[in-house]
Structure 1
Amino acid sequence: MGETTATRLGSLQGLSDSPGTVRFDFDFSRGTRNEIKVRPTGAQPLEKRGAPDAVPPMEMSMQPLSFAPTADALPGRVLGEGRSGDADFVIAASESADGAYLTVSPRTPYNGYVLPLMSLSATIERDGETVFDGLLSNAVGPDRSYHYGATVDGIKPGDEITVTVDSPPQAARHAGYEAAFLDMGDVRVTV
């Protein structure tokens, strides 16, 4: 197995520079999986049945990296927020030595889980001209958690940013993910 393909930022840059291997046995059969009893965690009122919602996350002694930071905890400034399909997107920018770092942080709307393994691209238009049009790399860092980003020449007031979902997230936490995050349109914000 190789090392992570996500760009590591901040204090995570020097970690895990060499690949490692872990072995374990896992027996799987579709028949056994189908025998697992599914029971509702609580009866929902009739008016809530079939409505989008989520069960609160399980309490744990540690917070996994799978939670996206709140919008106000992202470095830099929040440029806007939007929704695509069943996901919330926070778009932020911070200054770097090479320009502005554009951060796109998609998450589940109810519990704020990160949405990994997407393919995202972005376009920045200024005064009718495209000043950036490219892919956003998946990255992980101590302040942004798992996100998608790119270094751009700069972001100015009035810029129009369009984030396009080229491929939806490749994650499944429970049966609800089978239908969620499939029909995802563009997210647009104006700075």
Structure 2
Amino acid sequence: MNRRSVLRGVGAGLSAAVAGCFGYFETESVWSGAPLVEDRPDAVYLPASVEEMASYGTRDLADGSRCSLHFTFPHRFWTVTGSTKTRVEVAESDSMHLMVSVWDPVTGVVLPRQPAGTLLSDGDPVESYQLWSMLAQRMGYHFGNNVSLPGEGEYEVRVDFDPIGVRTAGAFAGRYQQAESASFQIDFDSSDVLDLSIDEIPADRRGTRAATEPMTGMGPPPGQVPPASDLPGTPLGTGSSADASIVGRLLDEPPAGIEGTGEYLAVSMRTPYNRIALASSSLAARIDGSSVDLVETIDDGLGHHYGVVLSDSLQSAPTIEVATPPQLARHDGYETAFFDMPSVDLEEP
């Protein structure tokens, strides 16, 4: 089913209203009516539907990273500030949901570097877009927002990336420290969005504790971290906190580029089912009554993780405490998970 089918199903009056005076759709009355699962668990769950997405292409940045620009229907999402989430509804002026990903093309590791979007017409800026760091079941970890365009036609979308906002280690040590930008030429036609498909999930599966498969084959990786069995180091067990999987590893020494000598405690926090990295959180480890902060880091072997060089050899089981839940906006299926996160006891090495 696509949005044209939705419009046919709601009657001529609404179709005319959606067509609007600008000759392209104004979608609040249609897309904000997409069902939200009732009786949702405080966990990852299957939403009522999944939407197709399309691409405006990929670009290589000067520092060796790669970025892409995708779009789909405008739809609701939730922003997160501290432990508070705020629902963002579709506005009448929204033309599409715009999505940006940036990653290392060699390893596939998605890079947490904040972008901002600018829409230009004939070289002149006409709109500025805030892009939230986001979590979605199909797109994974990305940046996005509902955006409005003045009308159909040709535009340039310039995406400006900040230097990376986390510690870099291993093959990434010292990289992505400068701002970068990329430009995409787009020819906006409302039919490109209207003709995207919407796949409904059977009613008896909606709200069950599961997740749809991440998108593959469209360019950007979804931000998955390695399976626990593939992580380097000594296993320290796995726990769950507010449905987040927390995996501990102990390395004999820190990855290249991290200062200090001694053992390295690494904690990988990921979604269940799809192993999407849960970034932008604050973690600490309590060891023998003392607490030490874990630093958000990307490494080619560990992927996205939180880690610290230990001053003494680890002899006891560390307890992982989550001071701040992932500061990621959420799409349907993730907005009830990863809040009020209790501590997790790992195992002795």
Paired residue for 1:32? Answer: none
- Greater Rg over alpha carbons, structure: 2
Instruction: Please say if residues 79 and 92 of structure 1, whose CA atoms lie closer than 8 Å, have aligned partners that are also in contact.
Output: yes
Q: How does 1:103-114 map to 2 (within 5 A)?
A: 103-114=266-277
Q: Does 1:18 align with 2:178?
A: yes
1:142-191 deviations in whole A, cap 9, x for unaligned?
0111110111024444x021111101012235212221111210011230
Which structure 2 segments of 5+ residues have no match? 1-160, 186-195, 254-259
SS at match of 1:175: coil
Count how many residue pairs are aligned between Structure 1 and Structure 2.
Answer: 175
SS at match of 1:11: helix
SS at match of 1:98: coil
Structure 1 moving runs of 4+ over 6 Å: none
Which structure 1 segments of 5+ residues have no match? 26-36
Q: CA deviation at 1:69?
A: 0.8
Paired residue for 1:160? Answer: 317
Paired residue for 1:116? Answer: 279
Q: How does 1:57-68 map to 2 (within 5 A)?
A: 57-60=214-217, 64=221, 66-68=223-225
Q: Residue 123 of structure 1 aligns to which amino acid in structure 2?
A: R
* Aligned with 1:143 (options 296, 301, 325): 301
TM-score of the two chains, using structure 1 as the length reference: 0.79
For residues 60 and 171 of structure 1, the distance between their equivalents in structure 2, rounded to whole angstroms, comes to 24
Instruction: Please say if residues 3 and 20 of structure 1, whose CA atoms lie closer than 8 Å, have aligned partners that are also in contact.
Output: yes
Instruction: Please say if residues 265 and 310 of structure 2, whose CA atoms lie closer than 8 Å, have aligned partners that are also in contact.
Output: yes
Instruction: Please say if residues 224 and 275 of structure 2, whose CA atoms lie closer than 8 Å, have aligned partners that are also in contact.
Output: yes
Q: What RMSD in Å do the two structures reach over aligned CA positions?
A: 2.8
Query: CA distance change for structure 1 residues 187 and 168 in 2, over 3 Å: closer, same or farther?
Result: same
For residues 298 and 264 of structure 2, the distance between their equivalents in structure 1, rounded to whole angstroms, comes to 13
SS at match of 1:160: coil
1:36-95 deviations in whole A, cap 9, x for unaligned?
x99554315x3x442211001122266727101111211211111100001001010101
Q: Does 1:182 align with 2:339?
A: yes
Q: How does 1:26-175 map to 2 (within 5 A)?
A: 39-44=198-203, 46=204, 48-60=205-217, 64=221, 66-96=223-253, 98-125=261-288, 130=289, 132-157=290-315, 159-175=316-332
TM-score of the two chains, using structure 2 as the length reference: 0.45
Q: Residue 8 of structure 1 aligns to which amino acid in structure 2?
A: T
Query: CA distance change for structure 1 residues 109 and 123 in 2, over 3 Å: closer, same or farther?
Result: same
Identity, % of aligned positions? 33
